[in-house]
Amino acid sequence: MALRPHRLRTLMLATAVMVAGGGAPAFARDHDDARRAVEAGEIRPLADILNAVKSKLPGDVVGVKLEREAGVWKYELRVVDEKGRLFEIHVDARSGEVEQTKEK
């Protein structure tokens, strides 16, 4: 799956929006936390993650979420395959390793 430049920009914006998980104050705090985590090397940038897992994705990425659970950063990708099925794919944000794939 090759990502066109406009699709990559859309996904990066979606990540920023989805990290917020709610109102504007959370957006600013969560966005800054995510940026600091990338700069500190705690997590890989979204573009790197997408390049690392693109061969394992069953279709087109339609949503991205970045979460920190129990001190561990995870990317959650929503992917729609050619048959219209929706998959949720959990990726370790530090290593880029796909940890779980499930159909929704």
Structural domain boundaries of the chain?
5-103
Average pLDDT over residues 11-37: 56
Give the pLDDT confidence score for residue 27 in this predicted structure.
43
Per residue in 47-82, pLDDT (tens digit) is: 999 988 888 887 899 998 998 888 889 999 999 999
Band the pLDDT of 7: cuts 50, 70, 90: low
CATH fold, domain 5-103, is: Nuclear Transport Factor 2; Chain: A, (3.10.450)
Give the pLDDT confidence score for residue 29 in this predicted structure.
60
Give the pLDDT confidence score for residue 35 in this predicted structure.
86
Per residue in 27-48, pLDDT (tens digit) is: 446 778 888 889 999 999 999 9
Q: E strands, the chain, where?
A: 59-69, 72-81, 86-92, 98-103
- Any idea what the Cα angle at residue 71 is, between residues 14 and 10, rounded to 5°? 10
Residue 96 clears pLDDT 90, i.e. is over it: yes
